[in-house]
Amino acid sequence: MSAQRVFRCFKYMERAGDKITGAAGPLFVFLAWVLLSLGAVSFFNVIQPTLRLPYISTPICVLIAVNLFGHYYYACTVPPGFITDPPLHPKNNILWAKKRKTARNIALTGVRWSDDVAITKATYTKCKRCGEMRPERAHHCRICNRCVLKYDHHCPVWINGCIGLHNERHFILFMLYLIISAWTFTICGWPHVLDALGWDDHTGDAWKHWSPSITFLLTYILAAVLGFAVTIMAGWHFWTVSNGETSVEAQDHDVYRRVAKGRGEDFVNSYDLGKLKNLQLFFNIGKTGYPLYTLLFPFRCEPYTDGRAWARRPGYERHSGLRAGEELTDDDEE
């Protein structure tokens, strides 16, 4: 078998894999909703009534749960920013957060400057797969079959869709609240595990909650496993966000760094404005964005850009250490 035939065979398997994950996606998301709901029921039925200082702990637990389900709902339902979608405008209703007073009349499009951040126009390339002109940081998703603004990745299991410019904030906050929920469940739920197994001799009596003990045990195992797994996943995502990179860029920039190093140069990511500023821009909580408290509620928020202009590191209109023609594109795979 020639190398080309092997390559074509792999491509075929990859496409078949895409189709299967695409078809199974709704089932995974449905399952995730069921399991998260069972977890919440177990928590509020078994664990929450035994927490100390109920006047404080109850509202905090409710707030965490509202954030968990709210951000999950938005991560799944807000379109990631397909290149052909009309621009997304915030609505003037209770679901949308209010911007800082000083930021309310600033348009998101085009080139602009706040006192400390320069935002300049993106360069455009034509996508060889869908034929659309797309700004830098947009990539083509093979499963959605469209280009997505600030494409991060296609999540087949949790979201059954792409993570991009418009839902990445909800996605990251969903992971954050999932970690808080899973660890709270695991730590505060431990005394009830012995109870559910019937091993706790001190209380002496049977399981006294209306939800079955088997549901509690299963959701407890799930919470412990998810707590570990999602902490690692989210840790990596936070790291890339704080470096001013998407998941795709984190991989591409590693290659650019090696290439530049081979020439004795340093690669500099022009989207990297320093850890704090990168996080502020990602969550849009800078001077031209939303107040800090918007991180505590599942509000809709718009990103700091329309995806067609990007904040740059002072003095860097483009990445340094990368020569023309060295950029990795997602067109090369065919």
Would you say the C-alpha torsion 97, 122, 138, 118 has a positive or negative sign? negative
Q: How far apart (Å, rounded) are the C-alpha atoms in residues 30 and 159?
A: 10
CB of 140 to Zn ion, least distance (A): 3
Please pick, from the candidates 71, 154, 166, 312, the single residue that binds Zn ion as defined by CB under 5 A: 154
CB of 24 to Zn ion, least distance (A): 14
Residue 140 interacts with Zn ion (CB under 5 A): yes or no: yes
Residue 25 or 189 having the CB closest to Zn ion: 25
User: What three-state secondary structure class fits 320?
Assistant: strand
CB of 79 to Zn ion, least distance (A): 11
The catalytically annotated residue of 155, 162, 188, 301 is 155
- Which residues from 97-136 bind Zn ion, rule CB under 5 A? 127, 129-130
Residue 76 interacts with Zn ion (CB under 5 A): yes or no: no
- The alpha carbon torsion through 250, 253, 257, 263 (nearest 10 deg) reads 170
- Residue 89, Cβ density class (10 Å: 0-12 exposed, 13-18 middle, ≥19 buried): exposed
Residue 75 interacts with Zn ion (CB under 5 A): yes or no: no
CB of 273 to Zn ion, least distance (A): 28
The owner of tokens 């800090």 is: 292
- Identity of the amino acid at 320: S
User: What three-state secondary structure class fits 61?
Assistant: helix
Q: Residue 194 half-sphere exposure, CB side, CA atoms within 13 Å?
A: 9
CB of 248 to Zn ion, least distance (A): 12
Cβ atoms of 168 and 284 within 8 Å: the answer is: no
Please pick, from the candidates 75, 78, 141, 155, the single residue that binds Zn ion as defined by CB under 5 A: 141
Closest by CA to 211, choosing from 47, 68, 62, is: 47
CB atoms within 10 A of CB 204: 6
Residue 153 interacts with Zn ion (CB under 5 A): yes or no: no
Residue 171 or 290 having the CB closest to Zn ion: 171
Residue 68 interacts with Zn ion (CB under 5 A): yes or no: no
CA distances from 111 to 62, 124, 165 (A): 41, 15, 18
Residue 144 or 268 having the CB closest to Zn ion: 144
Residue 128 or 263 having the CB closest to Zn ion: 128
Part of the chain binding Zn ion (CB under 5 A), chosen from 21-29, 50-58, 148-156, 164-172? 148-156
Size of the site for Zn ion (CB under 5 A): 10
User: What three-state secondary structure class fits 166?
Assistant: coil
- Which residues from 200-219 bind Zn ion, rule CB under 5 A? none
Cβ atoms of 48 and 58 within 8 Å: the answer is: yes
Residue 65 interacts with Zn ion (CB under 5 A): yes or no: no
Please pick, from the candidates 144, 224, 273, 301, the single residue that binds Zn ion as defined by CB under 5 A: 144
Helical (H) or strand (E) element with 232 = helix 213-242
Closest by CA to 286, choosing from 298, 303, 271, is: 303
Please pick, from the candidates 147, 196, 241, 322, the single residue that binds Zn ion as defined by CB under 5 A: 147
Per the annotation, the verdict on 155 as an active-site residue is yes
Residue 319 interacts with Zn ion (CB under 5 A): yes or no: no
Name the site residues for Zn ion (rule: CB under 5 A): 127, 129-130, 140-141, 143-144, 147, 154, 162
Catalytic residue ranges: 155
